[in-house]
Structure 1
Amino acid sequence: MLTTLSSLIAKNRSWALQCRDRNADYFAKDAEGQAPHSLWIGCSDSRVPAEVLTGSHPGELFVHRNIANMVMAEDDNLMSVLQYAIDYLRVANIVLCGHYGCGGVQAAVNLPQMALNDENSALSRRITRLRGDLAAHLPCGRTDVAPEENVARHAALVEANVLAQFAHLIRVEPVRNAWRRGAPLALHGCIYDLHSGHLQALITQQQEELSA
């Protein structure tokens, strides 16, 4: 553990030095406060770091990540992040991002056959909720599915999850309140491809599209 921490600290020092070499005031501007343009709600997967894949600098993104980029109104952690980002940081965009190869989505598919299904744990409850969100899209019947078809099915489920979580996002109180008062807030649902490194937009909704 000490070796791992030492390596992280060494890489941090190298990164900080490179940043200061390029711009002597690089850190000074962030020390004065933050004004991110967007809130990023993404998956906790270690392969999907928001700042890295978007080429963002510190101070540009306010970030919340959880398993399978889920939006749950009863999740105080997420709701507090949303309220703070919208009401205090005045972000203009919320990006909800899923990714192909999502382990949370795969767990939702496999849940009935997993030991997790018999647990009374936070993870079990979350994956059970995710399975419910995806119920209409879950495969049934055939088990003799070719590998390429399995990949396509999983990709479709990941996209369905982004749309399902997006549907929750447009209904949570911090977002609804912002739109009611006329705040310029746009929501975007995206997919990240681990193989290409590319982001793809699936859906966008803005204030003027708010239904009564």
Structure 2
Amino acid sequence: MCANHSEELLTREEITLENLLQGNKDFVERTLEEDPEYFNKLSAGQKPPVLWIGCSDSRVPADKITNTMPGDIFVTRNIANVVTHTDISLLSVLDYSVNVLKIKHIIVCGHYGCGGVAAAHGNKQVGLIDNWLRNIKDVYRFNQEEIDGLPEDQKVDRLVELNAIHSANNVMSTSIVQNAWANGQELSVHAWVYSLKTGLINDLKSTFSAADDMDPVFKMSI
């Protein structure tokens, strides 16, 4: 009945609230045809092994770019995948992920071509978000000599990478993660960057799996 409709993706100009609701119905019908128990199994609970801290950019859906299913990845997103120790929303997600879901991997994933990072690299006023982007300006400030020494077309991409690494370090230094490690919990923090041009993820080889991996200034006595 709706097979043809479900196989045709809407253009941006065709997206309306009515079409979104119809798309939902098509999704349910198609899914139940493939697996009549799909929603029963999905509603039984979640046990994802991964927490994904990503950018809010609509082009970077965690499940799609990693070829995973609903229930596989717990996700929180914000502008430019920034991690700060005063973001109660993110810290609540982190606490629930680590202490209730017992996830084993935390991935901070930025993406090349990030508008937030590009704005932080420049000096043009954008709006309220300028206050949020100050966190990335600090990353730029700490690494300005390296970034300014790069060719113009590489500067923002490198800041994207350094921002992901910096946010991963901030995750690692939270009391939540440090307490998990102190209690012997298996947990690793990773920094990745996704390319919109190739569709591939760049593992930045910044993986932290123990308190000894962090700067001693952030290490807590537990």
TM range (shorter): 0.7 to 0.9
Q: Contact conserved, 2:82 with 2:135, CA < 8 A, in 1?
A: no
Report the residue type matching 2:73 in the other structure: L
Percent same amino acid at aligned positions?
Answer: 35
TM-score by length of 2: 0.83
Aligned to 1:91: 103
Mapping for residues 98-109 of structure 1, pairs under 5 Å: 98-109=110-121
Q: Identify the match of residue 25 of structure 1 among 21, 32, 37.
A: 37
- Unaligned residue ranges in structure 2 (runs of 5+): 1-14
Q: How far, CA to CA, are the matches of 1:140 and 1:34 in structure 2?
A: 45
Higher mean alpha-carbon deviation, 199-208 vs 99-108, is at 199-208
Q: Contact conserved, 1:186 with 1:205, CA < 8 A, in 2?
A: yes
Q: How far, CA to CA, are the matches of 1:140 and 1:102 in structure 2?
A: 18
Aligned to 1:127: 133
Q: Identify the match of residue 34 of structure 1 among 46, 64, 82.
A: 46
Cα deviations across residues 153-182 of structure 1 (Å, max 9, x unaligned)?
Answer: 221111111111112111011111111111
Q: How far, CA to CA, are the matches of 2:33 and 2:190 in structure 1?
A: 35
Cα deviations across residues 66-108 of structure 1 (Å, max 9, x unaligned)?
Answer: 0110110100000000000100111111111000001111010
Aligned-residue offset at 1:46: 0.8
Q: Identify the match of residue 88 of structure 2 among 52, 55, 76.
A: 76
Aligned to 1:204: 207
Q: Contact conserved, 1:183 with 1:207, CA < 8 A, in 2?
A: no
Root-mean-square deviation (CA, aligned residues, Å) is 2.1
**2:19 is paired with a residue of what secondary structure?**
helix
Higher mean alpha-carbon deviation, 131-140 vs 21-30, is at 131-140
Mapping for residues 1-212 of structure 1, pairs under 5 Å: 4-110=16-122, 112=123, 114-116=124-126, 121=128, 123-138=129-144, 149-202=151-204, 203-207=206-210, 209-210=212-213
Higher RCO by CA contacts (8 Å cutoff, separation 6 or greater): 1
Cα deviations across residues 115-163 of structure 1 (Å, max 9, x unaligned)?
Answer: 34xx6x3x2211112211221334559xxx9xxx433222111111111
- Unaligned residue ranges in structure 1 (runs of 5+): none
Q: How far, CA to CA, are the matches of 2:148 and 2:193 in structure 1?
A: 25
TM-score by length of 1: 0.86
**1:52 is paired with a residue of what secondary structure?**
helix
Q: Contact conserved, 1:182 with 1:207, CA < 8 A, in 2?
A: no
Q: Contact conserved, 1:30 with 1:59, CA < 8 A, in 2?
A: yes
1:185 to 1:155, Cα distance in 2 relative to 1, 3 A: same
Aligned-residue offset at 1:55: 1.4
Aligned-residue offset at 1:209: 4.7
Q: How far, CA to CA, are the matches of 1:76 and 1:171 in structure 2?
A: 15
Q: How far, CA to CA, are the matches of 1:50 and 1:157 in structure 2?
A: 21
- Count of residues paired in the alignment: 199
Q: How far, CA to CA, are the matches of 1:81 and 1:17 in structure 2?
A: 32
